[in-house]
């Protein structure tokens, strides 16, 4: 009995000293660290920024639901700031004004730790943050650091349930954001390497890789796809008349129009100069032509202010279309060459039109009549 009494006495002493509570907290902390390490390993496997943020949000959901969650991110190329905003962890079209990126960037460059918003507002002055920012009901703000320094800010709004964030919850989010920061920066750099800086469309090299992937899938599992090649009509005279700045505005407008018109599973690229390409997934010949006509008409509707103030100017495109099928031994370069031939026929036929490439004798006869 004396041995049991000694153990009980020691236990009571440990309990009174607080050592048992400290041990319990340490175990909880170790479990959280193990969980974060596992989550981080999964996070680092993503290459797409939106997928990374979706994963991060799914993990936040295990702990709490904030009224607002916003990411302000400065990509490696260009001057634009990106906003990724969520209400109740659902995607929102809200945007955080650039003014607050500049304010918070300067602050976190000097003091890189997370900040409770009330303390931050007291530090910088309550007049710094207008109603447009206070509407997000921010509670904690986190910096996102990458290889080149600060490149993003995370704004965590108040909890839906109304309670304030615990120190453990803030620590968890802070640690996850440190891993997220590395992943997102890698994703942005990869995205930058496969996109055209002027139009924001994919590069030619990436487009060819996508065709190769589609070809391989069609040969394994069947199905069809289509390729469109677009060329701006009379683009050199357009530049000569209105200047290269207006010409660049036309290219940017075409890029924006293409991004709006295609589906997520399709791919639009700047082929080079004033040429563009589109990969249309899972389509037949009739659908490919319809897509091409819709794109052609949408580009013809673009209006760009003339630099001399005389009104608006516009451009048109000629389009060549080529189906991608399982039959045959065509390579991606062969298919692009065929689409280019169809584009040439559109040019020869009067421009601002669509021509679908026809294989076999029909195509050869058509080419023979042209020669």
pLDDT tens readout for residues 199-254? 999 999 999 999 999 999 999 999 999 999 999 999 999 999 999 999 999 999 99
pLDDT tens readout for residues 102-122? 999 999 999 999 999 999 999
Residue range 204-370 in CATH 3.30.70.270: yes
* Domain 18-193, CATH among 3.10.50.40, 3.60.150.10, 3.30.450.40, 3.40.50.2020: 3.30.450.40
pLDDT band at 255 (very low <50, low <70, confident <90, very high): very high
CA end-to-end distance (rounded Å), the chain: 110
Structure tokens belonging to residue 243: 């200047």
Flag whether pLDDT at 368 surpasses 50.
Answer: no
Average pLDDT over the chain reads 89
Backbone φ and ψ of 163, nearest 5°: -70, 155
pLDDT of 43 reads 82
332 close to 212: Cβ distance less than 8 angstroms = yes
156 close to 66: Cβ distance less than 8 angstroms = yes
pLDDT band at 24 (very low <50, low <70, confident <90, very high): low
pLDDT of 74 reads 92
pLDDT tens readout for residues 285-306? 999 999 999 999 999 999 999 9
- Domain span(s) for CATH 3.30.450.40 in the chain: 18-193
Residues 325 and 217: their CA atoms lie apart, in Å, by 10
Flag whether pLDDT at 367 surpasses 50.
Answer: no
- Domain span(s) for CATH 3.30.70.270 in the chain: 204-370
DSSP H/E element including 175? helix 167-193
316 close to 351: Cβ distance less than 8 angstroms = yes
Sequential DSSP letters for 207-249: HHHHHHHHHHHHHHH---EEEEEEEETTHHHHHHHH-HHHHHH
Q: Is the pTM of this model over 0.85?
A: no
pLDDT of 23 reads 61
pLDDT tens readout for residues 149-202? 999 999 999 999 879 999 989 988 998 999 899 999 999 988 889 999 899 999
| 288 or 24, greater pLDDT | 288
Backbone φ and ψ of 350, nearest 5°: 125, 0
């Amino acid at each position: 009995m004396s041995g049991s009494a000694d153990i009980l006495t020691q236990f009571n002493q440990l309990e009174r000293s607080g050592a048992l509570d400290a041990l319990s907290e340490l175990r909880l902390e170790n479990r959280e660290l193990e969980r974060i390490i596992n989550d981080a390993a999964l996070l680092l496997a993503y290459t797409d920024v939106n997928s990374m943020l979706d994963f991060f949000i799914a993990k936040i959901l295990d702990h709490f639901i904030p009224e607002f969650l916003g990411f302000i991110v400065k990509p490696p190329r260009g001057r634009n700031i990106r906003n990724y905003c969520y209400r109740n962890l659902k995607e929102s079209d809200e945007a955080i004004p650039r003014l607050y990126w500049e304010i918070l960037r300067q602050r976190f460059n000097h003091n890189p730790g997370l900040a409770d918003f009330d303390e931050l507002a007291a530090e910088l002055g309550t007049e710094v943050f207008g109603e447009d920012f206070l509407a997000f009901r921010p509670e904690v703000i986190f910096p996102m650091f990458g290889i080149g320094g600060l490149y993003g800010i995370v704004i965590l709004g108040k909890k839906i349930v109304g309670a304030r964030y615990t120190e453990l919850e803030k620590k968890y989010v802070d640690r996850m954001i440190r891993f997220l920061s590395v992943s997102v920066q890698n994703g942005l750099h990869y995205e930058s390497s496969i996109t055209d800086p002027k139009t924001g469309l994919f590069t030619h090299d990436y487009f060819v890789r996508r065709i190769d992937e589609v070809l391989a899938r069609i040969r394994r599992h069947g199905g069809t796809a289509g390729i469109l090649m677009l060329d701006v009509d009379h683009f050199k005279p357009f530049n000569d008349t209105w200047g290269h700045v207006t010409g660049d505005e036309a290219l940017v407008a075409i890029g924006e129009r293409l991004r709006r018109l295609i589906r997520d599973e399709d791919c639009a690229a700047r082929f080079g100069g004033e040429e563009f390409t589109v990969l249309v997934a899972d389509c037949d010949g009739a659908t490919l032509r319809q897509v091409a006509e819709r794109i052609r008409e949408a580009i013809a509707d673009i209006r760009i202010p003339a630099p001399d103030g005389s009104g608006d100017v516009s451009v048109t495109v000629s389009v060549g279309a080529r189906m991608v099928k399982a039959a045959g031994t065509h390579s991606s370069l062969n298919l692009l060459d065929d689409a280019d031939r169809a584009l040439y026929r559109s040019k020869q036929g009067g421009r601002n039109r669509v021509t679908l490439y026809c294989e076999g004798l029909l195509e050869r006869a058509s080419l023979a009549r042209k020669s």
